[in-house]
A and B are shown apart, each in its own frame.
Chain A
């Protein structure tokens, strides 16, 4: 628990000290304007809630890939990783704490997007299923944290993770159906998408702002949690493997 809380606090302090961490909070309103303009221009006012949900999911993906995913790599380049590993606290719990803070940052975009829609476009989200909506957001943040842990562990093994994170963003948005539902994509993509927790989250979020009852809510939410847990387990194992390998090769620090 010490490690988790230490990570939580550290990341909050780092975000406050580094305003560039807040980029997703700048881009989310811009994406909101773009998506709302598109659906309005095409006369699809029924898709306005979808246009408001998409920037939230994009913000979560962004913080998972660009921010949380780089945590270990950054600490390694700053020669911090060795001292952290040599401390009694578990790196995984520390990392989970840091990722949690980052996810909270990502979730702030939901409030932002809601405010932008209401103030500038006179579109207000109708919270038809408020409890379900909160559960979906929390479970999505949890699953994104799991994915971040796996990304962080994997990226530290690569020589240039930035290339991957920069190019993987949009394919992931597409496969996750953050704006265009996976159902309208070619059939062969569906199995790939269903292995990505965000595709389940995106469908659930859209359903939660519509009046109709959410079909198979608990089962679909369970898939988000399950895929998140799988990401956590993979991340944990990769982290153990990576640390062991780095202790063997002497690569915990960069020259």
Chain B
């Protein structure tokens, strides 16, 4: 059984006040996530990531189309879906600030119908797991942003959901905490959970996801493994070179298909191309000029993302 099935889902927000406009947040989106997969949903702000997560979490109705979680329809079978999912929405809000971290988790445990003993044990285990055990009895209002985010994560795991929807879960985390988060995701994968991770952090998606869906303006652009997405864009290959004579670089700069020749990190130069076969021509010219320090590479997911989505990606 697929963990998540999305079929032609469209979500339109109609204008509610004078002056506001109709927004198509999702436009015939289809997506399938097999059980046990960690799936990244990558896109700029306003791409439709959160809208899709909300529909799958049963808190937003699609305008048309169908979505199922572990075989249950998110519109007609909400009572079957809700015990199966865990949600982490990003941002600092979403917690009772006047209560302690432990009290917040105990409340959410009760909402997931855990017994008092189960709730206390699970809260203790999760606080330990997200590194908040020593701050468990401190009020949330005294937590840093990163600590709140970790508590959000623990809260999303209280119900022991088989499918987890994480919407920008590392917002506000410091690099160390973000790295620990990735380790935690790996552990969750080991437990057989399915995770949909909505993010605009390319490095995060590349590090933890089995597959990534690129989404922009409500439409899916591509769904592939991070590596395959890179291969898709081999035409955007880059060539890092050291010690190339300036005259040769100038010649390469004028070649068809070469989009950029720029110095990087002081000594080296990066040559970027945007057409098939151009890499070979550039390499031949460099070798002919006696340049031996040459390295070619596939673009990172970030570069793929920027190339596919274009300048809008820079609005992040």
Smallest beta-carbon distance A88→chain B, Å = 4
* CB closest residue in chain B, given A249: B16
Report the stretch among A59-67, A74-82, A149-157, A209-217 that lies at the interface.
A74-82
Q: Is the CB of A18 within 8 A of B113?
A: no
Smallest beta-carbon distance A252→chain B, Å = 5
Known A86-B82, A87-B159: A14·B99 in contact at CB below 8 Å: yes
* CB closest residue in chain B, given A94: B111
Report the stretch among A3-11, A42-50, A114-122, A174-182 that lies at the interface.
A3-11
> What B residues does A184 contact at CB under 8 A?
none
Q: Is the CB of B57 within 8 A of A89?
A: no
> What A residues does B89 contact at CB under 8 A?
79, 82-83, 253
Smallest beta-carbon distance B264→chain A, Å = 40
A250 at the interface (CB under 8 A from B): yes
A17 at the interface (CB under 8 A from B): yes
B59 at the interface (CB under 8 A from A): yes
> What B residues does A9 contact at CB under 8 A?
107, 110
The CA of A167 and the CA of B85, in the complex, are separated in Å by: 42
Q: Is the CB of A6 within 8 A of B13?
A: no
A2 at the interface (CB under 8 A from B): yes
Q: Is the CB of B155 within 8 A of A250?
A: no
The CA of A79 and the CA of B60, in the complex, are separated in Å by: 14
> What B residues does A89 contact at CB under 8 A?
110-113
Smallest beta-carbon distance B102→chain A, Å = 11
Partner of A83, one of B61, B83, B94, B113: B94
* CB closest residue in chain B, given A5: B110
A84 at the interface (CB under 8 A from B): yes
A1-42: contact bitstring with B at CB < 8 Å (1 yes, 0 no)? 011011001100110011000000000000000000000000
* CB closest residue in chain A, given B97: A78
B135 at the interface (CB under 8 A from A): no
Partner of B60, one of A3, A88, A252: A252
> What A residues does B13 contact at CB under 8 A?
249-250
Q: Is the CB of B98 within 8 A of A86?
A: no
Q: Is the CB of B54 within 8 A of A87?
A: no
Partner of A79, one of B85, B93, B112: B93
> What A residues does B113 contact at CB under 8 A?
2, 88-89
Q: Is the CB of B155 within 8 A of A17?
A: no
A247 at the interface (CB under 8 A from B): yes
Interface of B is mostly: loop
> What B residues does A252 contact at CB under 8 A?
59-60
Of residues 100 through 152 on chain B, the ones whose CB sits less than 8 Å from some CB of chain A are 103, 107-108, 110-113, 139
> What B residues does A86 contact at CB under 8 A?
57-59, 82, 85, 87
Q: Is the CB of B107 within 8 A of A6?
A: yes
* CB closest residue in chain B, given A87: B111
A134 at the interface (CB under 8 A from B): no
> What B residues does A88 contact at CB under 8 A?
79, 82-83, 111-113, 159
B257 at the interface (CB under 8 A from A): no
Pick from A6, A78, A88 the residue with the most CB of B within 10 Å. Answer: A88
Q: Is the CB of A80 within 8 A of B96?
A: yes
> What B residues does A84 contact at CB under 8 A?
111
The CA of A88 and the CA of B103, in the complex, are separated in Å by: 19
Partner of A17, one of B51, B60, B83, B99: B99
Smallest beta-carbon distance B124→chain A, Å = 17
B91 at the interface (CB under 8 A from A): yes
> What B residues does A131 contact at CB under 8 A?
none
A85 at the interface (CB under 8 A from B): yes
Q: Is the CB of B91 within 8 A of A247?
A: no
* CB closest residue in chain B, given A1: B113
The CA of A6 and the CA of B103, in the complex, are separated in Å by: 11
* CB closest residue in chain B, given A79: B93
A111 at the interface (CB under 8 A from B): no
The CA of A183 and the CA of B141, in the complex, are separated in Å by: 50
The CA of A201 and the CA of B108, in the complex, are separated in Å by: 37
> What B residues does A87 contact at CB under 8 A?
82, 108, 111-112, 159
Q: Is the CB of A14 within 8 A of B60?
A: no
Of residues 38 through 74 on chain B, the ones whose CB sits less than 8 Å from some CB of chain A are 51, 54, 57-61
Q: Is the CB of B98 within 8 A of A17?
A: yes
The CA of A80 and the CA of B89, in the complex, are separated in Å by: 10
Q: Is the CB of A13 within 8 A of B99?
A: yes
Q: Is the CB of A78 within 8 A of B94?
A: yes
The CA of A88 and the CA of B59, in the complex, are separated in Å by: 12
A88-101: contact bitstring with B at CB < 8 Å (1 yes, 0 no)? 11000010000000
Binding site for B on A (CB under 8 A): 2-3, 5-6, 9-10, 13-14, 17-18, 78-80, 82-89, 94, 247-250, 252-253
20 pairs from A and B in contact (CB 8 Å cutoff): A2-B113, A3-B110, A6-B110, A13-B99, A17-B98, A80-B93, A80-B95, A82-B54, A82-B59, A83-B94, A83-B155, A84-B111, A86-B82, A88-B83, A88-B112, A88-B113, A88-B159, A89-B113, A248-B61, A250-B13
